[in-house]
């Protein structure tokens, strides 16, 4: 049992370090090469990487204090840690939704628009929408400060720490009405709905890509056809779109599993729930920056050679 715990902690540290390096690298890449001429897509990536980085740091602090050393944390510090954890998680989810919607918007009717900008191409619009995501994340995280974390006497005896690892504090035998309302509101608005939007956007992006393959094909020896094929297919946009689709697939797998566990099992009654929740949350935040960075040519040595 001790060996299993040691290996689990080592795996946690490894995954967290991978995520920390990836998100820091992505932020630095955008700030170093794109800050003076930042585009909407880079703005959304910057917001996503910042949210991911904050979530990785806070979730590890929370895990170390509460689960590993069972530190005696005062109630307000406990609520603050939970607030920051949920805030980073919701921000990461909303920025993923923005990226998926923006990429579909860019692809939709691209042949008709040619070089005309889409609505979110405006950097000002991108910053405004990003601010809305941050504000909405903060508002949806605020109920953490008012929900009941004390639980019933039976539940309190199950947890020796002063800050329960079960976020919603709902077991099969005890779940206060405010906690239940907040739980299902958060799951619906911040997990299920974004999952539906990302899934639909991914399907629409695939439909656009498949329709382009059928309608736009290069013909050797005919200059007009060559120009049509080149105009219909931008290699950089296509590679970035594949990266977005891959990240969306990772997002769908992670948060589908999260919803299944939340709706099927009781976190208060399952001792392994904290471990499952950690790896579900951390896998997307740790792997997504590499997918986006490689697909968008941000993770290259030439990026850091540019002045």
pLDDT value, residue 266: 67
User: Structural domain tally of the chain?
Assistant: 1
Q: Is residue 125 part of a domain?
A: yes
pLDDT digits (tens, 9 = 90+) for 83-111: 998 999 999 999 999 999 998 888 876 65
Q: Is residue 3 part of a domain?
A: no
Q: Is residue 7 part of a domain?
A: no
pLDDT value, residue 226: 47
Taking the CA of residue 240 as centre, how many other CA atoms within 13 Å lie in the half-sphere pointing to its CB? Answer: 19
The stretch 208-224 carries a mean pLDDT of 61
Q: Which domain holds residue 214?
A: 15-305
Q: Is residue 4 part of a domain?
A: no
DSSP for residue 118 = P
pLDDT value, residue 129: 93
Cβ contacts of residue 100 below 8 Å, gap of 6+?
197, 198, 201, 202, 205, 244, 248
CATH number at residue 69: 1.20.1070.10
Q: Is residue 126 part of a domain?
A: yes
Q: Is residue 98 part of a domain?
A: yes
User: Which of 100, 28, 2, 83 minimizes the C-alpha distance to 108?
Assistant: 100
pLDDT value, residue 52: 93
pTM of the model: 0.84
Q: Is the pLDDT of residue 15 over 70?
A: yes
The stretch 217-245 carries a mean pLDDT of 61
pLDDT value, residue 171: 67
Q: Is residue 90 part of a domain?
A: yes
Q: Is residue 10 part of a domain?
A: no
pLDDT value, residue 34: 55
CB contact burial 36-73 (16+ within 10 A = b; e otherwise): eebebbbbbbbbbbbbbbbbbbbbbebbebbbeeeeeb
Region of residue 169 (phi > 0: left; psi between -120 and 50: alpha; otherwise: beta)? left
């Amino acid at each position: 049992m001790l060996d299993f715990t040691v290996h689990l902690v080592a795996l946690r540290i490894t995954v967290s370090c991978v995520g920390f390096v990836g998100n820091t690298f992505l932020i630095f890449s955008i700030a170093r090469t794109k800050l003076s001429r930042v585009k909407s897509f880079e703005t959304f990536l910057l917001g996503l990487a910042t949210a991911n980085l904050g979530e990785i740091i806070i979730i590890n602090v929370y895990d170390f204090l509460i689960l590993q050393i069972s530190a005696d944390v005062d109630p307000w510090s406990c609520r603050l840690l939970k607030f920051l954890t949920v805030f980073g998680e919701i921000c990461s989810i909303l920025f993923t939704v923005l990226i998926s919607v923006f990429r579909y918007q860019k692809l939709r009717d691209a042949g008709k628009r040619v070089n005309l900008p889409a609505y979110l191409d405006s950097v000002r619009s991108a910053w405004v929408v990003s601010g809305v995501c941050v504000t909405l994340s903060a508002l949806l995280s605020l109920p953490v400060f008012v929900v009941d974390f004390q639980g019933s006497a039976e539940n309190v005896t199950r947890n020796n720490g002063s800050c329960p690892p079960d976020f919603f504090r709902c077991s099969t035998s005890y779940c206060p009405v405010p906690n239940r309302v907040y739980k299902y509101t958060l799951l619906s608005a911040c997990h299920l709905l974004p999952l539906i939007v990302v899934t639909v956007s991914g399907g629409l992006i695939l439909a656009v890509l498949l329709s382009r393959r059928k309608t736009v094909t290069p013909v050797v020896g005919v200059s007009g056809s060559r120009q049509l094929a080149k105009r219909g297919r931008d290699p950089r946009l296509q590679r970035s779109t594949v990266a977005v689709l891959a990240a969306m697939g990772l997002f769908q797998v992670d948060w589908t599993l999260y919803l299944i566990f939340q709706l099927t099992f009781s976190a208060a009654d399952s001792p392994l729930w904290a471990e499952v929740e950690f790896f579900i949350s951390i896998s997307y935040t740790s792997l997504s920056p590499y997918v986006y960075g490689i697909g968008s040519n941000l993770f290259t040595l030439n990026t850091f050679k540019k002045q």
